Amino acid sequence: MDQECRRFEPRYFFNNEKIPFRTWNNQTWYTIAEAKVPFHKDVFQKVIERWTKEVHLIIPPVEYAEIINDVEFEINDTDHNESLSIKPVRTILRRLIPKRKDKDEELEELIEYYENVHESRVVYSPIIKSLQEPAEVNIPFYYPKVSCFSYVYAEYKRIYNTDMADYNGLDDNDDQSWLYIEIIPLSSSNILYNSDKMKYAYTQLFKKLFKWCYNTSIGYQKRVHHDLLVPKDLYMLTYKYLKEKYAKELVGNWTEKTDPAKFVFEDIAIASWLISLWKLERQEKCQTRLQSFVDLGCGNGLLTFLLTSEGHEGRGIDVRKRRIWDVFQNKGSKLIVETLQPNIATYSDVDWIIGNHADELVPWIPIIASRSSNNTKFIVIPCCFYALSGSKYTFEKQIISGGKYKAYQEYIHEIIDKCGFIVEYDWLRIPSTKNVAMVGRKRKSNNQDQIDELLHGIGSAIMLRLDLC
């Protein structure tokens, strides 16, 4: 595929007075975007199918879509007679559920799929139940202010009159495939309602549709994969619960100098993932007792607070107290100031050891877990690069092929492996590029010789500061 085909070169028609239109299925449709595309129709169909199932990827304010019904039809040759109304090959009725349920309305939507030899079309129609005027007030803010909109994949190029006002047929000399966005406006006098906002929405949708289709056509694989250890639905449900329960009060009463918009929601996300992981563990083992933990290098103590508030017995340890600790301690959280000597530290009284961006302690946590008990598990989320010696990790004798963060994960992976754990990974849904969780909950061996080899030459009295970067 040559470089020319890879470029996205869209053409937009955002002038209300000169938007090309055509009649299709006895209705007037306005073309607002078109682009030449280097992929086949089946790729377009595959991407649209995913967009239908995972609407939150396309419309972020929507949490999920509830499918009310999904019906496929057999189409006879007579159904393609141009003099008749064209019938869909499939219809889906779904309900869009917004994230902010107390502010935004749900919306039912009809999706219709149309197919013929040279064209694939998907039509989205909001089901407007209210009769308020103007009509656009009946459609939630997150949805286009239209009667219908459509994505069209066509194996031909359309041509227009010179003034762009009228659709003028097909270009038989063009053998390239094309992608279009068409709409039926709420009002013919104001085709692009709230022009600037809608213009931005349509350009982003069109760009995303092209990108997804192109990446699918070349077999693109994501570099990271979320939800490897915790199903997305379970995580999202837990995150929604914790966010609604804690976020507003935490942000409003944040006493640290750090940005609550980052730290509060990031730790709520990590707590949601951990609580979900632990729930699955209890189900697998048929136990009801909530897991216990120690959070080493707990920093502001928020993660410890969230986990203990949800019933998990545990404590957070750090080298110094934070101002917000008083708030959390008054609500029952156990936060302790302590300087740790990791080469002799053990925590046999807890199920899990947590190292959330725990800096110098991250490479030590697998060792501490292996020495604590045969049942002690751990999770580390590496951030800054430190070696077992407590000094900055220098990547000596290591080939860096995927960036330093990936190389540091390989270093931690080697330590975990030598401690006898099977290493598991997950990429957390947090607002940070350092979002890799490395988990040790299953053991293959307990090789003390390999651990001694790791510690050789480091010294017998290592004092590490447990502080967050």
| pLDDT tens figures, 98-112 | 988 888 899 999 999
Which among 94, 121, 381 is positioned nearest to 266, based on CA atoms? 381
Global pTM?
A: 0.63
Question: How far is the C-alpha of 346 from the C-alpha of 351, rounded, in Å?
Answer: 12
What is the sign, positive or negative, of the torsion defined by CA atoms of 127, 128, 134, 140? negative
Of the listed ranges 169-178, 329-338, 416-425, the least confidently predicted one is 169-178
Instruction: Report residue 340: phi and psi, to 5°.
Output: -95, 140
Pairing of strands 352-356, 335-337: unpaired
What are the tens digits of pLDDT across the range 234-263? 998 999 999 999 999 999 999 999 889 889
Inter-helix orientation angle 260-285/302-309, to 10°: 40
Confidence (pLDDT) at 351: 98
Question: How far is the C-alpha of 213 from the C-alpha of 47, rounded, in Å?
Answer: 6
Confidence (pLDDT) at 118: 79
What are the tens digits of pLDDT across the range 356-412? 999 999 999 999 999 999 999 999 999 999 999 889 998 887 887 778 898 999 999
Please give the torsion angle defined by the CA atoms of residues 392, 395, 396 and 400, in that order, rounded to the nearest 10 degrees.
Answer: -170
Task: Answer for the pair 88, 111: CB distance below 8 angstroms, yes or no.
Answer: no
